[in-house]
Amino acid sequence: MPDTTTTTGVLPAFDCEFEINTAGRSTTPTWETIKDIEELQITVDGSIQEWNPYDQKGWARRALTGKKIGIAVKGKRNYGNTGNDYVAEKTTSFVSFISYLS
């Protein structure tokens, strides 16, 4: 687990850990750290619908109609690390499925 001491200023990048639930969709999650991550990028994006009704006298209306989250991870393969092995297994099965469809 990361150090829980209070820090001020910028969050130190070396103190971040990325964990994954290796139990899949079971009722009891099993969280494992993914070793040897070099880059981690998390994006959150909302889909906005905009329209201009006549009764609003030129003012636009907007509504949030959807949300999406993306996680991109770059790292080295670490055989024997439970988190890394789980990601490799899922990635390999997905690539095999895409190859099967082609």
CA distances from 84 to 8, 19, 23, 27, 56 (A): 31, 10, 13, 21, 54
How far does Cα 58 stand from its chain's mean position? 39
78, 35, 81, 79 alpha-carbon torsion, rounded to 10°: 0
pLDDT for res 9 = 72
pLDDT for res 97 = 52
Average pLDDT over residues 84-95: 79
Q: Is the pLDDT of residue 2 over 60?
A: no
Q: Is the pLDDT of residue 102 over 70?
A: no
CA distance 70 to 47: 14
Coil vs helix vs strand at 79 = coil
Average pLDDT over residues 3-18: 68
pLDDT for res 67 = 93
Q: Is the pLDDT of residue 10 over 90?
A: no
pLDDT for res 74 = 86
CA distance 20 to 82: 10
- Tens digits of per-residue pLDDT, 19-35? 889 988 878 999 998 88
- Tens digits of per-residue pLDDT, 33-73? 888 888 888 899 999 999 999 998 889 999 999 999 988 88
CA distance 16 to 2: 7
